[in-house]
């Protein structure tokens, strides 16, 4: 038996013995759906500058360009669907009484796969927020107008996502910390561990007493620190846990 299959066996045992499981996902979980990651090969931040497209200053300077980027991503996501990794996590939620999924992804693929207890740290690309009156609405139009306007007040809409330099919603963060501080197993899946506060969440769960297991195609700064690090594709590994 290879190390990987031994580690998958150990994780399977931990998973089905755990009373409370928390999962943190990043762009890697959606890679097998065809969604580009940010930092790997073909990653979005290798081709584009985040500072031009994903900051409040960029939006203030050139909202049309920022909306072009988000409309392009919405068009792409509209054609893609969840992969076996997303479906396996949704299935686990059905079978484990206390199961929380924290994601950095804005792509909505966890919900589309059937996950319900989802904490979206960085927002959701299918929701828009008014820059005038603050109204928050789901809007599935593809594409949106180049400069979409609020139905209530006419001001410019923005994607309801967290940009660099912005704070995460404190209520959302509180929910995430509650889930990671009180679980017996945390799985950290498909994230490079470079963006805070998500990057530290596995370590915080470990400090709080959870077994922490990473699933990632490549080593991360945390691979040697967690209890188990499994190298491979989440879409192949997660279904083996069921
Ligand atoms: P990254 O692009 O930084 O990292 C993706 C990780 O997924 C890498 O560690 C890859 O090795 C791994 N990976 C790729 N394919 C995989 C697969 N099939 N199975 C398992 N792992 C795989 O993405 P994130 O860590 O999610 O934030 O990035 C964090 C945040 O940075 C994003 O939420 C976004 C970005 O800027 C904002 O936009 C605020």
122 catalytic, yes or no? Answer: yes
Question: What distance in Å separates the CA atoms of residue 203 and residue 222, rounded to the nearest whole number?
Answer: 8
Is the beta carbon of 122 within 6 A of some atom in ligand 1? Answer: yes
CB 58 within 8 A of CB 221: no
List the structure tokens of 194. Answer: 């470079």
Residue 123 has pLDDT above 60, yes or no: yes
Q: Where in the chain is the domain with CATH 3.30.1600.10?
A: 36-79+123-161
CA 101, CA 216: separation in Å to the nearest integer? 17
Residue 39 alpha carbon, nearest atom of ligand 1: 2
If phi > 0 it is left, if psi is from -120 to 50 it is alpha, else beta; for residue 165 that is: left
Tokens matching residue 78: 């509209």
* CB 25 less than 6 A from any atom of ligand 1: no
Task: State whether the beta carbon of 155 lies less than 6 angstroms from ligand 1.
Answer: no
Name the residue at shortest CA distance from atom 2 of ligand 1. Answer: 38
pTM (predicted TM-score): 0.97
Band of residue 41 on the pLDDT scale cut at 50, 70, 90: confident
Burial class (CB in 10 A: 0-12, 13-18, 19+), 147: exposed
CATH 3.40.50.1220 maps onto the chain at 4-35+83-122+168-241
* Across 132-158, average pLDDT: 97
Q: Per-residue pLDDT averaged across 164-180, rounded?
A: 97
C-alpha to C-alpha distance for 83 and 158, rounded to whole angstroms: 28
Indicate whether 184 pLDDT > 70: yes
Q: What architecture is the 4-35+83-122+168-241 domain classified under in CATH?
A: 3-Layer(aba) Sandwich (3.40)
> What pLDDT score does 166 carry?
97
The answer to whether residues 236 and 7 touch, using CB atoms and an 8 Å cutoff, is no
| Residue 61 predicted with pLDDT over 90 | yes
Q: What is the mean pLDDT of residues 80-100?
A: 98
Mean pLDDT of the chain: 96
**For residues 103 and 120, is the Cβ–Cβ distance under 8 A?**
yes
Q: Which helix (H) or strand (E) holds 228?
A: strand 228-231
Any ligand 1 atom below 6 A from CB of 201: no
Mean pLDDT of 148-161: 98
Which residue has the least CA distance to atom 32 on ligand 1? 104
Phi, psi for 35 (deg, rounded to 5): -85, 125
Chain segment 105-117, per-residue pLDDT in tens: 999 999 999 999 9
Check residue 219 and give its pLDDT: 96
**Selected residue with higher pLDDT from 41 and 219:** 219
DSSP state of 39: S
- Nearest protein Cα to ligand 1, atom 22: 28
The atom of ligand 1 lying closest to the CA of 233 is 19
- Give the domain 36-79+123-161 fold: SIR2/SIRT2 'Small Domain' (3.30.1600)
d(CA 26, CA 191): 4
Residue 187 near residue 240 (C-beta atoms within 8 A): no
Asked if residue 123 has its Cβ within 6 Å of ligand 1, the reply is no
pLDDT exceeds cutoff 90 at 2: no
**Integer CA distances (angstroms), 185 to 2, 43, 181, 182, in order:** 23, 29, 10, 9
Report how far ligand 1's centroid is from the alpha carbon of 24 (Å).
Answer: 11
pLDDT band at 1 (very low <50, low <70, confident <90, very high): very low
> Cα of 32 to ligand 1 centre, how many Å?
12
Tell me, using a 6 A CB cutoff, whether residue 27 lines ligand 1: yes
Q: Is the pLDDT of residue 221 over 60?
A: yes
């Amino acid at each position: 038996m290879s190390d990987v299959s031994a580690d998958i066996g150990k994780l399977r045992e931990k998973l089905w013995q755990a009373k409370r499981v928390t999962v943190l996902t990043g762009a890697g979980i959606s890679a097998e759906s065809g969604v580009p990651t940010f930092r790997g090969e073909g990653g979005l931040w290798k081709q584009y500058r985040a500072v031009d497209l994903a900051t409040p200053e960029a939006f203030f300077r050139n909202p049309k360009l920022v909306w072009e980027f988000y409309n392009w991503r919405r068009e792409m996501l509209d054609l893609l669907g969840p992969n076996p990794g997303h479906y396996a996590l949704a299935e686990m939620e059905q079978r484990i009484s206390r199961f929380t999924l924290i994601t950095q992804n804005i792509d909505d693929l966890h919900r589309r796969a059937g996950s319900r207890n989802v904490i979206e740290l960085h927002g959701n690309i299918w929701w828009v927020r008014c820059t005038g009156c603050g109204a928050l609405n789901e809007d599935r139009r593809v594409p949106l107008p180049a400069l979409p306007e609020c139905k209530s007040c006419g001001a410019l809409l923005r994607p309801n996502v967290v940009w660099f330099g912005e704070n995460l919603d404190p209520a959302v963060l509180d929910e995430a910390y509650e889930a990671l501080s009180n679980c017996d197993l945390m799985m950290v899946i498909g994230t490079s561990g470079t963006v805070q506060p998500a990057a530290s969440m596995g370590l915080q769960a470990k400090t709080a007493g959870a077994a922490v297991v990473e699933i990632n195609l490549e080593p991360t700064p945390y691979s040697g620190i967690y209890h188990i690090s499994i190298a491979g594709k989440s879409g192949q590994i997660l279904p083996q846990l069921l």
